[in-house]
Amino acid sequence: MLTAKENMRQVILGGKPDRFVNQYEAVALLFHPFLLASPLLKKGDMNVVNAWGVTNSFPGNTPGAFPVHTPDKIVVKDIEHWRDYVHAPSLKFPDELWNVCKDMYAAVDGTKAFKATFVAPGLFEQSHHLCSMEEALMNYMEYPDEMHDLIKYLTDWELELAEGICSNLHPDTIFHHDDFGSERNSFLRPSVFEDFFLDAYKQIYGYYKSHGVEFIIHHSDSYCANIVPIMIEMGIDVWQGCMHSNNVPELIRQYGGKMTFMGEIDNKQVDFDGWTYADCEKAALNAINTCGSVADGKYFIPCISQGGPGSLYDGTYKGIWDAIDKYNCEKFGFKQEDIEANRLPITIMF
Amino acid sequence: MSLQNVNDLVTRGKAKLVPAAVQETLDEGVAATEILDTMIAAMDVVGEKFKNNEIFVPEMLISAKAMKKGVEVLKPHLASGEVGSMGKMIMGTVAGDLHDIGKNLVIMMIESAGFEVIDLGVDVPLEKFISTYEENPDTKIIGCSALLTTTMPALADTVAAINAAPWRSKVKVMVGGAPITQEFADKIGADCYTPDAASAAKAAKELVS
């Protein structure tokens, strides 16, 4: 029996997985010093200003923190003079902080799970965190030169971050957030998206790949079917968060072998007031039957769409987890204790 | 020709050029209401293209912004009430929900369709929806947004409170947001659900016509 990590590698590479990967079971999400140095919000924290000057809140009923954009809190007041407002925070950290992170990585059994550095927000997200969503989207159309300069500035900062991560923490995987769309479409026209982000991400993901990182997992819980070829060219191996609206079976047919699709179980299918284990089982089996069958279990990982293990309502993530385990035991003849012995204990991050 | 120019510039989202084009059209003697109708018609086309995934959110946003700039030039030439002549709409994101992007997109499109919008912002208690209507009894539509599954109960509570109000028959209730479906809207007793901002503007016009 393969470990969870070996099994996930087989899924991604198109080898011989011996069961379905169970959501995030093979991905240990780990921090880097900047996430510890810039205020990291806990549920309930409101209006906390981070190292970029962006105000964030994390209400108890949301899956994560998000920026607050009342007019007084928008960082970039004038895109034509964005350099007056945007000041990249330092990435020089004391050894003690690196050591705290190194201990986290050392504590993970690397035979059972990928040691994945969690990086967020991404370039597109950071642009709208700084400008507000509406202004950022309009700026891409009305002030393309300024936005190109801003993205270049953010890319250089991310490359410096990547250098620190690779030389100090040696992760084998990167779990990188950047939501590129809504449930219905990509935010940007594909040609515009490509113009602003392809080269930038090729540089960032290329750096990681040339410095010991085996796989790039990119989170975007959205529709992105129209930009998948660009995402592949960026160097993304696994797209986590691919929602049902993308027609995931068709994506696997078209792009299996170039990208693995991790998702299909939208939060709204299971993560609501009054959810039941039957809802979780139905969603998990539906994902396995419709997407998992396309390429004999390859290039697909059934997973809740949100960008980390957990759910808004307590127990939902575990409900899906139990349903996938049950399927793996019944279908492939494993015992639950064997599955447990070959992976890390379940982690609930959110 | 100038009217067509205004139409083209709004469609293409040329916010910097629209004011001059509107002024030029006014100077030619075209009635302000005709120019306003032209811009509303241009936004109808933009909305339809967005709904059909032919254009993307930024393109819709810059068109709405361009129209807003044009309306600023028109305003002194319009009689009171002609901007927002479709009627008044109250919009807000329900209690416990701080998300405003979807709501703001809807407001931009609803305003572009000729409505006057009272924006209550985010995290709006149901009492605020009720009191705002009672202060503005000429309101034709109340729009409520929820982006999270965790705030769907607050949306249901808000619509229930509106449904229990003695003036309910005089106003339409629209709902929307990522987790909301037609089935949920029907269950909680809303009059209308739309999946995106452009559809919301179209539906709002149909509701009041």
- Decide if A141 and B100 are in contact by the 8 Å CB cutoff: no
Identify the CATH number of the domain in which residue B40 sits.
1.10.1240.10
Q: Are residues B108 and B176 in the same domain?
A: yes
CA-closest candidate to residue A27, choices A252, A268, A262: A262
Q: Is A339 helix (H, G, I), strand (E, B) or coil?
A: helix
Give CA separation, B53 vs A189, A333, B62, in Å: 10, 45, 16
Report whether A325 contacts A339 (CB < 8 A): yes
CB < 8 Å to B98, chain A: 57, 59, 62, 66, 68
Q: Is residue B73 part of a domain?
A: yes
Q: Are residues B104 and B199 in the same domain?
A: yes
Closest by Cβ to A184, choosing from B58, B151, B196: B196
- Decide if B65 and A313 are in contact by the 8 Å CB cutoff: no
CB < 8 Å to B61, chain A: 134, 137-138, 141
Q: Is residue A299 part of a domain?
A: yes
User: Which residues neighbour A98 within 8 Å (Cβ) at sequence distance 6 or greater?
Assistant: A33, A168, A169
Identify the CATH number of the domain in which residue B173 sits.
3.40.50.280
Q: Is residue A348 part of a domain?
A: no
- Decide if B58 and A185 are in contact by the 8 Å CB cutoff: no
Identify the CATH number of the domain in which residue A67 sits.
3.20.20.210
The confidence score (pLDDT) of residue B1 equals 59
Q: Are residues B60 and B160 in the same domain?
A: no
Q: Are residues B73 and B37 in the same domain?
A: yes
Report whether A294 contacts A306 (CB < 8 A): no
**Structural domain count, chain B:** 2
CB pairs A-B closer than 8 Å = 75
Q: Are residues B48 and B118 in the same domain?
A: no
3-state secondary structure chain B: CHHHHHHHHHHCCCCCCHHHHHHHHHHCCCCHHHHHHHHHHHHHHHHHHHHCCCCCHHHHHHHHHHHHHHHHHHHHHCCCCCCCCCEEEEEEEECCCCCCHHHHHHHHHHHHCCEEEEECCCCECHHHHHHHHHHCCCEEEEEEECCCHHHHHHHHHHHHHHHCCCCHHHCEEEEECCCCCHHHHHHHCCCEECCCHHHHHHHHHHHHC
Give the gyration radius of chain B's Cα atoms: 17
Mean pLDDT of chain B: 94
* Domain carrying residue A315: 4-341
User: Which residues neighbour A242 within 8 Å (Cβ) at sequence distance 6 or greater?
Assistant: A220, A224, A248, A251, A261, A262, A263, A264, A305
Which residues share a beta bridge with A242? A222, A263
The domain boundary residue, chosen from B77, B101, B128: B77
- For chain A, what's the residue count? 350
Which residues share a beta bridge with A217? A175, A238
CB < 8 Å to A268, chain B: 149, 178-179
**How far is it, in rounded angstroms, from Cα B101 to Cα A134?**
7
Query: In tens digits, what is the pLDDT along chain B, a chain of 209 residues?
Result: 589 999 999 999 999 999 999 999 999 999 999 999 999 999 999 999 998 999 999 999 999 999 999 999 998 998 877 777 899 999 999 999 888 888 988 998 999 999 999 999 999 999 999 999 999 999 999 999 998 889 999 999 999 999 999 999 999 999 999 899 999 999 999 999 999 999 999 999 999 98
Sheet harboring A55-57: ordered strands across? A48-49, A55-57, A66-67
Q: Are residues B192 and B103 in the same domain?
A: yes
Give pLDDT tens digits for B87-114: 999 999 999 988 888 898 899 899 999 9
* Domain carrying residue B160: 87-208
Closest by Cβ to B149, choosing from A138, A141, A267: A267
The domain boundary residue, chosen from B34, B58, B77: B77
Query: In tens digits, what is the pLDDT along chain A, a chain of 350 residues?
Result: 999 999 999 999 999 999 999 999 999 999 999 999 987 788 899 999 999 999 999 988 887 888 999 999 999 999 999 999 999 999 999 999 999 999 999 999 999 999 999 999 999 999 999 999 999 999 999 999 999 999 999 999 999 999 999 999 999 999 999 999 999 999 999 999 999 999 999 999 999 999 999 999 999 999 999 999 999 999 999 999 999 999 999 999 999 999 999 999 999 999 998 999 999 999 999 999 999 999 999 999 999 999 999 998 999 999 999 999 999 999 999 999 999 999 999 999 87
Report whether A224 contacts A245 (CB < 8 A): no
Q: Is residue B34 part of a domain?
A: yes
CB < 8 Å to B59, chain A: 141, 189
- Decide if A138 and B152 are in contact by the 8 Å CB cutoff: no
Shortest alpha-carbon distance between residue B114 and chain A (Å): 21
The CA-CA-CA angle for residues A262, A267, A270, to 5°, reads: 115
Q: Is A28 helix (H, G, I), strand (E, B) or coil?
A: strand
Closest by Cβ to A61, choosing from B104, B151, B178: B151
Angle subtended by helix axes B32-51 and B57-74, to nearest 10 = 170
CA-based nearest residue in chain A for residue B156: A273
- Decide if B96 and A61 are in contact by the 8 Å CB cutoff: yes
Which helix or strand (DSSP H or E) is residue A263 part of?
strand A260-265
Task: Give B92's Cβ-side CA count (13 Å radius).
Answer: 24
Q: Are residues B111 and B137 in the same domain?
A: yes
**Structural domain count, chain A:** 1
Buried b / exposed e along A98-116 (16+ C-beta atoms within 10 A): beebeebbeebeeebbbbb
Q: Is residue B82 part of a domain?
A: no
Residues 34-93 of A with CB under 8 A from B: 57, 59, 61-62, 66, 68-69
Shortest alpha-carbon distance between residue B52 and chain A (Å): 10
ipTM for the predicted complex? 0.92
* Cis-peptide, bond into residue A144, ω within 30° of zero: no
Token pair recorded at residue A233: 């060219």
CA-closest candidate to residue B56, choices A185, A172, A339, A330: A185
Residues 132-151 of B with CB under 8 A from A: 148-151
Instruction: Give the DSSP per-residue string, A3-27.
Output: -HHHHHHHHHHTS--SS---TTTTE
Neighbours of A334 (CB within 10 A): 16
- What percentage of chain A carries pLDDT values higher than 70? 100
Q: Are residues B57 and B130 in the same domain?
A: no
Buried b / exposed e along B62-88 (16+ C-beta atoms within 10 A): bbbbbbbbbbebbeeebeeeebbebbb
**How far is it, in rounded angstroms, from Cα A268 to Cα A265?**
8
User: Which residues neighbour B42 within 8 Å (Cβ) at sequence distance 6 or greater?
Assistant: B6, B7, B8, B10, B11, B63, B67
B59 touches chain A (CB under 8 A): yes
CA-closest candidate to residue B102, choices B143, B49, B44: B143
- For chain B, what's the residue count? 209
